[in-house]
Amino acid sequence: MLYSVNTKIFNMIKNSKWIPSTVTSLESLLNTKLPDISIDLYLTAISQWYEEVYTRQHGLKELIRVIHALLLYYQNVQMYLNENNTNDSTDNDITKQDIKEELNDIITFLKQFDNNFSSSAEDLFAALAKGFSLICKNSFQIDLKRDLTKKEIEIIYLSFLNSMTLMYDLISSIEEKMFHLHQNAWKTRVLSEQKVKEFNTSSQFRINGPQDVIVSFCEDINRYSSSNQKIISASLHNTKSRITFKDRRFGFMYNFNPENIIAMCPDDIQSLNTSTTVYTELLATIFQGIPIHNLTQRMKLSPIDLKPIYNLDEFKENTILYNEIVLSENAEPFGIFVFRENLNSVKAKVFSLAVANRLPLFVCNVDGSLNFVSYDKILEIMDNSFESIKI
């Protein structure tokens, strides 16, 4: 799931009982920002996920809990703000008085929604977006009193951590509910390793089509043996179609497995993995709503309105040319997919991939049916130097 690692990291930090030891280290943690990225952009999409799984009044309690925690954090910052030299500027020519006024404004704004169950979910998400966007704002640099006690440092830090933990717990809960709502159709209607076994157990047989399959179409086979591949770009493909991204002709087939699905979109997804080696940068990444791949990698995925999972029929209907399903690097393929009309031209590649990974071959016919060729049968064909390939 898109935010599962973020949620685990926050809970891990919370359970570690770690507390900043000085005012300077607390300020460094709170004031480290990543440019041009803010959680409020992600919350716009997440609010749409929420509407998909909750009825009008259900779930408001969880939203209000996050707002209350966020309000408490800002109130704690306000209480311990350094009041000296309020006309001094920060690095961005924003005065401390400006920061104080922003704090007053956001506290006044959030109070309208604290324990307000008459608000709509849309309004509550808008409040959260505004509240968290200030945390992500580069010019919002907090200057705390220099003589804070360890207990006061702990109060500020834990209130901050609690607001973010509750936010990610809410997001994680929404993602889980989306999978619960939609995963059955994907499991029953998308071709999987288990379904293949139910068709036949011989070394060669035909699967009637068309079939829906999850395929990561290849461009450079060397890339797939590289340890640098942190996420897998796949797509839901109907075997009757010949439209693929950049006209790719073969690829790896994957099961639908909720544990390996990061996100999906009925259009192309632009993805980028960026290294994060500094602890404050790692925290800034998850504070600002950026999906984390692991402790050293962050993901930048767009369009922003992608989902953890779609209704299968909606996903197919909204796919115009091709779609994308982002899989975890831990996903294991169960076969090699190739179009029949391209088999001869890529024969060496697909056979070597099949043998190297000990995987069967699925040859896609024009009518959408698939010819299954087991790994053992491929070895037999190769031993005969491809002299009489009958697939």
Confidence of residue 294 (pLDDT cuts 50, 70, 90): low
Average pLDDT score over the chain:
85
pTM value?
Answer: 0.84
Domain boundaries, the chain: 4-184, 190-269+306-383
pLDDT for 6-58, tens place per residue?
888 878 888 888 899 999 999 998 998 776 666 777 788 888 899 888 865 56
pLDDT for 62-79, tens place per residue?
999 999 999 999 999 999
Please give the pLDDT value at position 385.
59
Mean pLDDT of 258-271: 84
Q: How far apart are CA 141 and CA 160, in angstroms?
A: 15
pLDDT for 351-363, tens place per residue?
989 998 999 999 9
Determine which of 48-57, 230-239, 266-275, 317-326 has the lowest per-residue pLDDT on average.
266-275
Mean pLDDT of 321-340: 92
Please give the pLDDT value at position 219.
72
Confidence of residue 327 (pLDDT cuts 50, 70, 90): very high
Percent of the chain past pLDDT 70, that is, above it, reads 81
Q: Which residues, in sequence order, are bridge partners of residue 207?
A: 370
138 CB neighbour count, 10 Å cutoff: 16
pLDDT for 180-189, tens place per residue?
999 999 999 9
Q: Give the torsion through C-alpha atoms of 197, 201, 204, 210, to 10 deg.
A: -30
Mean pLDDT of 99-108: 95
pLDDT for 161-207, tens place per residue?
999 889 988 999 999 999 999 999 999 999 999 999 998 778 889 99
Q: In this structure, what token pair is assigned to residue 85?
A: 């030299």
Instruction: Give every strand in the sheet of 270-275, ordered side by side.
Output: 270-275, 297-302, 292-294
Name the pairing type of β-strands 333-339 and 250-254.
antiparallel
Q: How far apart are CA 206 and CA 200, in angstroms?
A: 9
Confidence of residue 304 (pLDDT cuts 50, 70, 90): low
pLDDT exceeds 70 at position 298: no
pLDDT for 105-152, tens place per residue?
999 999 999 988 889 888 999 999 999 888 888 889 999 999 999 999
Q: How far apart are CA 141 and CA 82, in angstroms?
A: 12
- The 8 Å CB, 24+ separation contacts for 160-163 are 160/30, 160/73, 161/10, 161/13, 161/14, 162/14, 162/69, 162/72, 162/73, 163/66, 163/69, 163/70, 163/72, 163/73
